[in-house]
Amino acid sequence: MSRLQDKVAIITGAAGGIGFEAARKFGHEGAKVIIADFDEAKGIESEKNLLEEGITCKFVQVNVADRESVDTMVDKALAEYGKIDILINNAGITRDAMLSKMTLEQFQQVIDVNLTGVFNCTQAVLPSMVEQGKGKIVNTSSVTGTYGNVGQTNYAAAKAGLIGMTKTWAKELGRKGINVNAVAPGFTMTAMVSAMPDKVIDKMKEMVPMQRLGKPEDIANAYLFLASDESDYVNGHVLHVDGGIMM
C-alpha cells in the first residue's frame, strides 16, 4: 500500500521548487493534495501537470500572511476532500539585506509570510485535526534558523521562531494525536539558487561535506517521512537535511 493512501495534504508554496516536488511525491504515494500558493498562474500550471501524472490534486490560491485568505483555503480543502490529515508549512520568501540597510518593510514582509503565515495555517487546520484525533504538521525551518546567516536577519529570525513554535506545538498537541516536526534544509538547488553565478554555487558546494547541494526531492523525502505513519512517535524534532554542512 502507498505510504499516504487516502490522506489529504495541504502543502503551502507548492506551485514550484521544493513544495511542488513534495506535492508530486505525496500524490504518487496516494495522497490527495491541495496545492496552496500565492502565484495563481504557476499554481494552475502545477495542478495541470500533476493531474496529467494521475495525481488527485486541487490548486487553491492563498496568501498565508492573510488570515482570511488562509481560512478560505482551509474551507475549500475541507469542501473538496472532507478532512485534512497533513499540513506542510513550506511557503517562504526572502528579502535579504545587511542589518544596516534592511528596511522595516523587508523585515516585516518575511516575518509575515515565514512566521505569522505558519501560525495562520496551523491554527486554521487545527479544529479538523483535533476532531479526527490525528494529524501531521511539518514546518520548514532552515539551517539559517539554527546558525544565522549574513544578510538574513529577517529570515533567520523567522526560521528560528519556527523551531520554537514547532517544539511548543509538539508539547501542546501531542496528547491530541497530532505530531509537529520541522525540517531544516541546507543549500538546496531551487530556481532561486540556480540563478546565482556558478562561482557562488561552487563555493556553496565546497562548504558541504557531501560536496553537492540538496535537490528539492531530498527535502520532499524528509517531508514524506514526517507526514507518514512511519513517524508516529517522532514529535518536536528538527530534521536537518543539509548534507552535513552544520555539525
For the beta sheet containing 8-12, the strands, ordered from the edge strand earlier in sequence to the opposite edge, are 57-61, 32-37, 8-12, 86-89, 135-140, 178-185, 238-241
Domain boundaries, the chain: 8-235
Q: What grid cell was written down for 170?
A: 509538539
Quote the pLDDT of residue 194.
83
**What's the pLDDT at 190?**
87
Reference 112, options 63, 165, 73; nearest CA is: 63
Q: pLDDT of the chain along its 247 residues, tens only? A: 799 999 999 999 999 999 999 999 999 999 999 999 999 999 999 999 999 999 999 999 999 999 999 999 999 999 999 999 999 999 999 999 999 999 999 999 999 999 999 999 999 999 999 999 999 999 999 999 999 999 999 999 999 999 999 999 999 999 999 999 999 999 999 887 888 899 989 999 999 999 999 999 999 999 999 999 999 999 999 999 999 997 7
Cell of residue 104, nine digits: 522595516
pLDDT of amino acid 96: 94
Long-range contacts of 175-178 (CB under 8 A, 24+ apart): 176/129, 176/130, 176/133, 177/129, 177/133, 177/134, 177/135, 178/126, 178/129, 178/130, 178/134, 178/135, 178/136, 178/137
Q: Take residue 61 and report the three cell numbers written for it.
A: 490560491
Radius of gyration over alpha carbons of the chain, in Å?
A: 17
Q: Of 14, 55, 8, whose CA–CA distance to 35 is shortest?
A: 14
Residue 187 and residue 185: Cα distance in Å, rounded?
Answer: 7
Q: What is the dihedral of CA 130, 135, 141, 147, to 10 degrees?
A: 90
Q: Round to whole Å and give the CA distance between 116 and 120.
A: 6
Here the cell at position 235 is 514529535
Buried b (16+ CB within 10 A) or exposed e, 188-204: bbbeeeeeeeeeebeeb
Q: From the candidates 147, 155, 223, 233, give the one annotated as an active-site residue.
A: 155
Active site residue 155: yes
Q: Which amino acid is at 61?
A: Q
| Short-list 233, 193, 236, CA closest to 213 | 193
Options 2.60.120.10, 3.40.50.720, 3.30.499.10, 3.40.50.150; CATH for 8-235 is 3.40.50.720
Pairing type for strands 86-89 and 57-61 reads unpaired
As a whole number of angstroms, the distance between CA 139 and CA 113 comes to: 13
